[in-house]
């Protein structure tokens, strides 16, 4: 099957020609001074989009390597950890926490809802033993966000560590690693940044390093080790293993574009695209997945499907018949996602996604007013531009 005409999936996303040109640069020896300089520059640019002066580690192997390595580094046996669950990735974090030997506490809500700062505060008041809070800033499979801006400072003020999956949060929502006192953040390149999959962007605070060094179980001499990156690369200029040279070049190109546009402008572009998409979906007669608009993410718009329509079928139909790759619910529920991430956050991409979804649903027997949806979305788009 040929490549789709449009990739409007929830990551990896379509990347720009400039990012592709970065990926296509000559592959240098990793100790070539030119590549060493590129690597260091790229770390600094990641720090700029995360708004932090913490150490940045670029771990090769997709965001999951950073998420798992960081959690293994922080968790000590029996440690009381509070995990916030409002979707698939949060649920998975809980399985890891228990598996790595911590005492697992959870606040869990429906996957169309969000854990509130008030719930976290009440739980922490009742359980002063909690030493770390784990949360997912943006639950991509269901398109909801958590209020990190309030939960982060709350934990910092109580001396509780924070472990934050912001793989699709960074650039998809306002982000302040240092101002919010976030200890351990893991971001991804292949979501709102519009870079290649295959690299984890990890920021580690001083307090997190203290916890990691106090943990005899923290991985060392391991692919999952954060300590190896700190001591070998940041400390001695020696890579723990060969980085993927092309991914680093592609990442730097994506970062350059985001920084030239401006971090706040990129976030605003995602929010604007989300508004256009939600407006169109509602006018088409579709129901948003998130129970309230305030918790709907700006990087994907999730739409609730009627029970008898299978979400994977809708995704496959839009791809096969209309050449548009959408994302299904990935186990989060019977939903379909119109993604507006990276280069696809803006302009007519939302219109293409809405048209492909609307027509696919109609083909599958669902009553939708495609014309009204596209009209409303175009109206919202022009209102932003004129």
Ligand X SMILES: *Cc1c(COP(=O)(O)O)cnc(C)c1O
Residues that bind ligand X (CB under 6 A): 11, 62-64, 89, 136, 140, 165, 167-168, 188, 191
Residue 266 near residue 255 (C-beta atoms within 8 A): no
Considering beta carbons, is residue 93 or 257 the nearer one to ligand X?
93
* Inter-helix orientation angle 33-50/245-261, to 10°: 40
User: How far apart (Å, rounded) are the C-alpha atoms in residues 250 and 266?
Assistant: 18
Output DSSP code: residue 15: -
User: How far apart (Å, rounded) are the C-alpha atoms in residues 96 and 79?
Assistant: 13
Considering beta carbons, is residue 55 or 165 the nearer one to ligand X?
165
Considering beta carbons, is residue 138 or 279 the nearer one to ligand X?
138
Beta strand pairing call for 161-165 and 138-139: unpaired
User: How far apart (Å, rounded) are the C-alpha atoms in residues 185 and 177?
Assistant: 8
- Beta carbon of residue 12, minimum distance to ligand X (angstroms, whole number): 8
Considering beta carbons, is residue 74 or 124 the nearer one to ligand X?
74
Radius of gyration of the chain (CA): 21
Considering beta carbons, is residue 188 or 329 the nearer one to ligand X?
188
Considering beta carbons, is residue 61 or 240 the nearer one to ligand X?
61
Considering beta carbons, is residue 136 or 356 the nearer one to ligand X?
136
Is 131 annotated as a binding-site member? no
Find the DSSP H helices in 75-171: 88-99, 117-126, 148-157
Burial class from Cβ neighbours inside 10 Å (0-12, 13-18, 19+) for residue 221 reads exposed
Residue 175 near residue 166 (C-beta atoms within 8 A): yes
- Beta carbon of residue 168, minimum distance to ligand X (angstroms, whole number): 4
User: How far apart (Å, rounded) are the C-alpha atoms in residues 256 and 62?
Assistant: 20
Considering beta carbons, is residue 145 or 286 the nearer one to ligand X?
145
Considering beta carbons, is residue 11 or 353 the nearer one to ligand X?
11
User: How far apart (Å, rounded) are the C-alpha atoms in residues 124 and 122?
Assistant: 6
User: How far apart (Å, rounded) are the C-alpha atoms in residues 360 and 366?
Assistant: 9
User: How far apart (Å, rounded) are the C-alpha atoms in residues 131 and 99?
Assistant: 17
The DSSP bridge partners found for residue 370 are none
User: How far apart (Å, rounded) are the C-alpha atoms in residues 56 and 170?
Assistant: 14
- Beta carbon of residue 215, minimum distance to ligand X (angstroms, whole number): 23
Tokens 């590129």 correspond to: 38
- Beta carbon of residue 369, minimum distance to ligand X (angstroms, whole number): 31
- Beta carbon of residue 11, minimum distance to ligand X (angstroms, whole number): 5
- Beta carbon of residue 189, minimum distance to ligand X (angstroms, whole number): 10
User: How far apart (Å, rounded) are the C-alpha atoms in residues 39 and 58?
Assistant: 9
- Beta carbon of residue 57, minimum distance to ligand X (angstroms, whole number): 16
Residue nearest to ligand X (CB): 140
User: How far apart (Å, rounded) are the C-alpha atoms in residues 356 and 338?
Assistant: 10
- Beta carbon of residue 330, minimum distance to ligand X (angstroms, whole number): 8
- Beta carbon of residue 312, minimum distance to ligand X (angstroms, whole number): 16
Coil/strand/helix, residue 262: coil
User: Which parts are annotated binding residues?
Assistant: 337
User: Which parts are annotated binding residues for substrate?
Assistant: 337
């Amino acid at each position: 099957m040929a490549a789709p005409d449009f990739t409007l999936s929830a990551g990896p996303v379509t990347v720009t020609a400039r990012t592709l040109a970065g990926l296509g640069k000559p592959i240098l020896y990793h100790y070539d001074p030119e590549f060493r300089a590129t690597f260091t520059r790229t770390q600094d640019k990641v720090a700029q989009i995360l708004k932090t002066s913490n150490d940045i580690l670029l771990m090769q192997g997709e965001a999951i390597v950073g998420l798992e390595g960081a959690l293994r580094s922080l968790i000590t046996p029996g440690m009381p950890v509070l995990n916030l669950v409002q979707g698939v990735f949060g649920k998975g974090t809980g399985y890891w926490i228990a598996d790595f030997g911590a005492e697992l506490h959870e606040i869990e809500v429906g996957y169309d809802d969000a854990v509130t700062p008030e719930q976290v505060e009440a739980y922490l008041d009742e359980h002063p033993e909690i030493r770390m809070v784990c949360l997912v800033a943006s639950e991509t499979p269901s398109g909801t966000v958590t209020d990190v801006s309030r939960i982060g400072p709350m934990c910092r003020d109580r001396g509780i560590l924070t472990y934050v999956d912001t793989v699709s949060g960074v650039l998809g929502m306002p982000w302040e690693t240092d101002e919010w006192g976030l200890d351990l953040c893991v971001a991804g390149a292949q979501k709102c940044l519009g870079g290649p999959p295959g690299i984890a962007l990890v920021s580690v605070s001083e307090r997190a390093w203290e916890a990691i060094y106090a943990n005899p179980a923290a991985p060392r001499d391991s692919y999952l080790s954060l300590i190896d990156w700190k001591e070998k690369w940041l400390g001695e200029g020696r890579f723990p293993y060969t980085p993927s040279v092309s991914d680093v070049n592609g990442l730097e190109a994506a970062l350059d574009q985001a920084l030239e546009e401006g971090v706040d402008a990129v976030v605003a572009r995602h929010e604007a695209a989300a508004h256009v998409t939600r407006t169109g979906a509602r006018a088409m007669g579709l129901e948003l997945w998130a129970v309230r608009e305030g918790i709907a993410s700006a990087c994907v718009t999730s739409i609730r499907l009627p029970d008898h329509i299978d979400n994977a079928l809708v995704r496959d139909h839009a791809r096969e018949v209309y050449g548009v790759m959408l994302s299904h619910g990935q186990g989060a529920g019977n939903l379909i996602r119109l993604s507006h991430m990276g280069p696809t956050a803006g302009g007519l991409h939302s219109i293409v996604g809405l048209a492909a979804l609307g027509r696919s649903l109609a083909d599958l027997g669902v009553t939708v007013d495609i014309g009204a949806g596209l009209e409303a979305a175009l109206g919202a788009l022009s209102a932003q531009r004129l």
